Amino acid sequence: LAKTTQPISMDSYEGQEVNITCSHNNIATNDYITWYQQFPSQGPRFIIQGYKTKVTNEVASLFIPADRKSSTLSLPRVSLSDTAVYYCLVGVRRTGFQKLVFGTGTRLLVSP
């Protein structure tokens, strides 16, 4: 089973760039890497998804090295509203079904 490992917490200040790394040594060939953001008492919200190299959207960038054993979520110029828990998700395939397993999550605290 592909298992993910993330830092438990990170601290930052407004306006800084934040990079959160996720390790997934057993990622399967067809698996995508997906990141979610969760605020307290809400369901997680999709941020970005990638397979290899670099993906960028309006809120974040995702960097994936050639061996795909890790990925880094990059949040440019964070604000107080980016304080949340960030989850790395890698698809786990078993006998035709896809069991989606969340990592431990990284609690990001952005201070003024």
Partner 1 sequence: DGGITQSPKYLFRKEGQNVTLSCEQNLNHDAMYWYRQDPGQGLRLIYYSQIVNDFQKGDIAEGYSVSREKKESFPLTVTSAQKNPTAFYLCASSIRAGLSGANVLTFGAGSRLTVL
Q: Which is nearer to partner 1, 16 or 53 (CB)?
A: 53
Q: Does 34 bind partner 1 (CB under 8 A)?
A: yes
Selected from 29, 58, 81, 96, the binder of partner 1 by CB under 8 A is 96
Can you list the positions of beta strands (E) in 39-105?
45-50, 53-56, 61-64, 70-75, 84-94, 97-102
Q: Are 73 and 48 in contact (CB under 8 A)?
A: yes
Distance CA 11, CA 109 (A): 5
Q: Does 100 bind partner 1 (CB under 8 A)?
A: yes
- Torsional sign, CA 27, 24, 37, 61: negative
Q: Does 101 bind partner 1 (CB under 8 A)?
A: yes
| Among 62, 61, 31, 34, residue whose Cα is nearest residue 46 | 34
Q: Does 43 bind partner 1 (CB under 8 A)?
A: yes
Selected from 68, 105, 108, 110, the binder of partner 1 by CB under 8 A is 105
Q: Does 81 bind partner 1 (CB under 8 A)?
A: no
Selected from 27, 64, 87, 108, the binder of partner 1 by CB under 8 A is 87
